[in-house]
């Protein structure tokens, strides 16, 4: 499965997918239709599927126009059926959805929003995590509790190490500046930040990351790590409380 990054707005990524075996073409979280349409036209592709992770406008804003133009099928969360216009395929946790020769498994990952889902394409080991899991960070808790988000992140953390992670925003460098304040002795994090600095200096994306990389470097997946816990003065505390404290600190971080 081919994945193409389409930058949108200040720091969003929209993803165009193509299953080579079937020729099906999908898009994930088209907040804006115009750059997606331009990419499709440049490649001579039509669009068959629109995958939506959550209801925020910078993720769904272009979906209706693309559906209208290409007669594509809109796939999203059943829990958000009331606030995703034009939803055709409404899915819950554990559902599987077919995209050409690929199958995506749906994870319900509440926290950023109550209905947020992630799509894991099993054979391609490719995750679309929306605004739940970012590289070196996680989404703000607009509609959920720390306990919900921690559980959501644990379900994504359990995916294969080599799973490529495509998230909704290019936030890696600012996330990493915060991560260094709560996990300062983590060599893998320092190395990743050097790599990220090089990429951003050349105006290149830091995405995709991998689950293995995030397990080693993302503090929000490491609330049960003794190094993170002692760095913030919470050695031995329940992971969910450590996670809540990390999220609180990040909300107030000015890096
Ligand atoms: Zn969002």
**CATH value at residue 180:** 3.60.15.10
d(CA 55, CA 47): 20
Q: What confidence tier does 32 reach under pLDDT thresholds 50, 70, 90?
A: very high
**Residues, Cβ < 5 Å to ion ligand 1:** 56, 131
> Would you state the pLDDT for residue 255?
74
Structural domain that includes position 30:
2-251
Q: How many helices (H) and strands (E) does the chain have?
A: 9, 14
Expressed in angstroms and rounded, the spacing between residue 223 Cα and the centre of ligand 1 is 22
Per-residue pLDDT averaged across 151-167, rounded? 98
Expressed in angstroms and rounded, the spacing between residue 194 Cα and the centre of ligand 1 is 27
Angle at 149 between CA 241 and CA 135, to 5 degrees: 105
From residue 117, alpha-carbon distances to 5, 122, 153, 185 in Å are 20, 15, 12, 33
pTM over 0.85: yes
Cβ neighbours, 10 Å, residue 196: 21
Expressed in angstroms and rounded, the spacing between residue 57 Cα and the centre of ligand 1 is 8
Q: What confidence tier does 211 reach under pLDDT thresholds 50, 70, 90?
A: very high
Closest among 46, 217, 16 to 128, alpha carbons compared: 16
Per-residue pLDDT averaged across 164-175, rounded? 98
> Would you state the pLDDT for residue 186?
98
> Would you state the pLDDT for residue 11?
98
Contacts of 93 (CB under 8 A, 6+ apart): 106, 107, 108, 117
State percent of the chain over pLDDT 70. Answer: 100
Per-residue pLDDT averaged across 41-66, rounded? 98
Contacts of 177 (CB under 8 A, 6+ apart): 253, 255
Expressed in angstroms and rounded, the spacing between residue 72 Cα and the centre of ligand 1 is 23
Q: How many domains does the chain have?
A: 1
Query: For residues 29 and 15, is the Cβ–Cβ distance under 8 A?
Result: yes
**Average pLDDT, whole number, for the chain?**
98
> DSSP character for 162?
T
Per-residue pLDDT averaged across 51-56, rounded? 98
Expressed in angstroms and rounded, the spacing between residue 131 Cα and the centre of ligand 1 is 5
Burial class (CB in 10 A: 0-12, 13-18, 19+), 96: exposed
Expressed in angstroms and rounded, the spacing between residue 132 Cα and the centre of ligand 1 is 8
Q: Residue 205 above 80 pLDDT?
A: yes
Expressed in angstroms and rounded, the spacing between residue 55 Cα and the centre of ligand 1 is 7
């Amino acid at each position: 499965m081919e994945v193409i990054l389409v930058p949108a707005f200040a720091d969003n990524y929209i993803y165009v997918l193509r299953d080579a075996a079937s020729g099906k073409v999908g898009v994930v979280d088209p907040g804006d239709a115009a750059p997606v349409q331009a990419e499709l036209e440049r490649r001579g592709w039509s669009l068959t599927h629109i995958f939506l992770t959550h209801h925020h406008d910078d993720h769904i804003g272009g979906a209706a126009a693309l559906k209208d133009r290409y007669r594509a099928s809109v796939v999203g969360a059943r829990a958000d059926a009331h606030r995703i216009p034009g939803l055709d395929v409404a899915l819950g946790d554990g559902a599987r959805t077919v995209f050409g020769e690929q199958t995506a498994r749906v994870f319900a990952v509440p926290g950023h929003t109550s209905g947020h889902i992630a799509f894991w394409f099993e054979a391609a080991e490719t995750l679309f995590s929306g605004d739940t899991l970012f590289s070196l960070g996680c989404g703000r808790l607009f509609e959920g509790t720390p306990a919900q988000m921690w559980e959501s992140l644990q379900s994504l953390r359990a995916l294969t190490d080599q799973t490529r992670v495509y998230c909704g925003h290019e936030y890696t460098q600012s996330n990493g500046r915060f991560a260094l304040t709560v996990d300062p002795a983590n060599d893998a994090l320092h190395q990743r930040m050097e790599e990220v600095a090089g990429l951003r200096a050349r105006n290149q994306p830091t995405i995709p990351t991998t689950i293995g990389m995030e397990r080693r470097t993302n503090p929000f997946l490491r609330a049960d790590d003794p190094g993170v816990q002692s760095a913030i003065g919470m050695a031995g505390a329940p992971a969910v409380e450590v996670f809540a404290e990390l999220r609180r600190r990040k909300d107030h971080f000015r890096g």
